[in-house]
Amino acid sequence: MYKNHLKIAWRSIRKDKLFTAIKIGGFAVGIAACLLIALFIRNEISYDKHYANKDQIYRVVMQGTFQGELFKSTHFQLPFADALQTDFPEIIKAGKVNTIEIFGAGKRGMRLSGKSQNTFENGFILADQEAFDILEINLEQGNPKSALTNPQSIVISKSKAEKFFQNGNALGQTIILDNDASKPFKVTGVMKDVPKNSHLDFDFMLPIEDPNGSWTNQNYFTYVLVDPNANVLELEQKMKSIVEKYLIPAQLDRGRAPDFIEVLKTFEYKLQPVTDIHLRSDIKMADGLQHGDIRFVWLFAAIAGFVLLLAVINFINLSTAKSANRAKEVGLRKTVGAFKRNLVAQFLTESVVFSSISFVLGIVLAWALLPSFNAIAAKSIAMPWAAWWFLPILFISSVMVGVVAGLYPAFYLSAFRPVNVLKGKLSVGSKSGKLRSGLVIFQFTTSVILIIGTLIIYRQMDFILKKELGYDKEHVVVLEGTGVLGNRSDTFKEQLLQLPQVKEVTATNYLPIDGGSRNGNTFRRADEGNEGRGIPAQIWRVDYDYIKTLGIQLKEGRDFSKEFASDSINSIIINSKMAQELGLTDPVGKELDNNGQILTVVGVVKDFHFKSLKEDISSLSLVIGKDIGAVSVKLEKGNIDQALEAITSVWNKNVPNQTINYSFLDREFTQMHADVQRMGSIFNSFALFAIFVACLGLFALSAFMVEQRKKEISIRLVLGAPFKSIYQLLTLDFMKLILISIAIAVPIGWYAMNRWLEDFAYRIDIGWEIFLAAGGIALGIAILTISYQSVGAALIQPLKSLRSE
């Protein structure tokens, strides 16, 4: 019986090639989109699942209230981890990690002992032995129990060992960092490469060198391994005792004001499962790591479902629309004794055959598109061909999708009465299309929502990249790893300034981009003493040329100057936000207390963005200090390549054993928002998939409608109907459906994208023109799709058509 079903299914496929191609093509595109999204989601939710003790590993998060607002942090004092392990028996181990050198300190110069040539490497972290154990670092060489116990030890990844050492035999070898031969590091371990689906991505581990750390400096992540029998909620409550026992006494010893102590009393600690860090971290935690977003995971899952649903709708629409062509077949088979269940089985078999062919084509299409998708998503996803579950799941899915898609057409077609069919009284197809109309509305409502989303994402990203930032990021070259210059940094700077292509130069790693150094402190007005309200603010060490090199605008007062000796000791420049937070209406000349150091405000700069535009501008101050982690060079407008050659020549004279490494400030700013750009690109790509599938269905329905009404159109043409009336006849009904779709989609799209924009402190306003453009695009796509068939129908030769009747 099933052999006969398959034979009839194959004949049906060959009989109507256009509709077969659209059915299979739509299915294949939908399946390819679903498969790509499924692989992306699988990669996102797999983060940090490789730990054997993943259910016991947590990262500590602190939250408190300041000026009525909740704030969170993942940075803790050095003794914090030791206190946790000592005071709470539920915590088996507590370890410290400083990740600032993954992103914060740029690339470091590195060379092997006995070699003169440096290379730039990044991905350094500082950790203690407890963190080494908690994070389950697997060593291929070395003793895991003592890998980080020596202050001058270093653990490197297998890939770096193979890069720098013959046959990867790195154990016991010596490495020089930042050209400092006085502090060589001995390789005490070679670890397996950190999985790409880990929230920590690093290649080098260095020991923490501050055994006497205080309770006032916060620079370390704290990871804990918790007893599996412990009650985590109760443990979090008990951890609040850390504030009274350690934090408050330490701050009182420093003479902290009562208002600051009151803020400390609001502190509480939460244990964040390590498997939640990548997808479920609050963006305001600002931990400096690259995160995903669980909301995007759900969004892409919904898009995958919609794309596949649109393909299924196409199948249902076309199957019911072509029902008149199958009606006589159903009538004859019922007359000769076929039961309804036989007909249902026949049509379901056809549907499964369509689905299976589509799955094969969809998998091939996804496999072909995967490299491009990886480039867009910045992933290295591969088809899991070798996984035992992959092919079985695809096979089961093809059968299930085929059955689901074929259920309604199967019962619909098998319900025809043979008497009505054979007497020619059955009128089905394009005229019995209430369900099809509803499904077309659903398809284009989804498409219009996706078009609205695409337009708003594009405009928001364009707004971010073109927004006035408060500094000039154009034509600024950032030289990285300049710490190797040592005491030659001033000479290097002067030599650069002598180049005709160079306008200004500043030497500091405190830059308004990701990867720049950061240093937070608490400030208060000196005239209010310890009773004054303290505010958190960034304090950046810069040189005398920083403000003019980056084009930061002075609002009041003056810039730093070498003519004033006090500028290098106790002068400070603050931004407008900091003046406002301190309640200073006339800040120039006022004194500020920075943890006991009195600084005089000599200038106020206009607020400029130094974080992602998802966050508000916060308080920031500048002081004169030495930081040569990076050198920024402002170029004259002109030949960039010639300028880079000249800068490289100066670099080679000063550091002949290290290749120059540079980036452009404007590109680094763009990179700050790369995560949003990537998600936007992925969203836009799959929106196009969905719109394409919807248009395929509309094209097929319009083709079928023209076929069904060919005789009517021919008669109208013979009677003198103009082209315009024929075109309107064939397109007007579809246009009504599209307009209904637009009316439904606009409020849904507005609500969804307004929620998305809430993540940005600086955002566009959603104006009516976006919805007008989205509706126009959808209408234009629909008209183009339908017009191909409508114009062809209006230009047919009526006599030839009627003769064939």
Mapped onto helix, strand or coil, the DSSP state of residue 623 is: strand
Q: How far apart are CA 696 and CA 698, in angstroms?
A: 5
Q: How far apart are CA 592 and CA 613, in angstroms?
A: 28
Listing DSSP states for 253-264 in one string gives HTT--HHHHHHH
Q: Write down the pLDDT at residue 257.
A: 65
Token pair in block for residue 794 = 């209006």
Q: Write down the pLDDT at residue 789.
A: 74
Enter the DSSP assignment of 167: G
What are the residues whose beta carbons fall under 8 Å from the beta carbon of 664, sequence distance 6 or more?
A: 476, 477, 478
Geometric angle at alpha carbon 801, from 800 and 805, rounded to 5°: 115
Which of 150, 147, 245, 139 is CA-nearest to residue 194?
A: 139
Token pair in block for residue 58 = 């947590």
Q: How far is CA 795 from the centre of its chain?
A: 50
The residues facing 127 across adjacent strands are 97, 207
Q: Write down the pLDDT at residue 211.
A: 62
Using alpha carbons, list the distances in angstroms from residue 804 to 328, 709, 793, 798: 20, 14, 15, 10
pTM above 0.85, yes or no: no
Strands 571-575 and 597-605: parallel
Q: How far is CA 317 from the centre of its chain?
A: 36
Enter the DSSP assignment of 247: I
Q: How far apart are CA 320 and CA 410, in angstroms?
A: 9
Strands 591-594 and 535-542: unpaired
Token pair in block for residue 228 = 């599996």
| Strand (E) or helix (H) holding 1 | none
Strands 662-664 and 476-480: antiparallel
On whether the CB atoms of residues 560 and 513 are closer than 8 A, the answer is no
Token pair in block for residue 103 = 């992103």
Q: How far apart are CA 351 and CA 414, in angstroms?
A: 14
Listing DSSP states for 479-522 in one string gives EE-GGGGGGGHHHHHHHHHTSTTEEEEEE-S--SSTTS---EEE
**Which residues of the chain have a pLDDT value below 50?**
102-105, 284-285, 427-432
Enter the DSSP assignment of 118: B
Residue with tokens 């391994």: 225
Q: Write down the pLDDT at residue 177.
A: 85
Q: Is residue 308 exposed (0-12), middle (13-18) or buried (19+ Cβ within 10 Å)?
A: buried
Q: What is the chain's alpha carbon radius of gyration, rounded to the nearest angstrom?
A: 34
Enter the DSSP assignment of 246: I
Q: How far apart are CA 415 and CA 395, in angstroms?
A: 30
**How many Cα atoms are found within 13 Å in the side-chain-facing hemisphere of 805?**
14
Mapped onto helix, strand or coil, the DSSP state of residue 541 is: strand
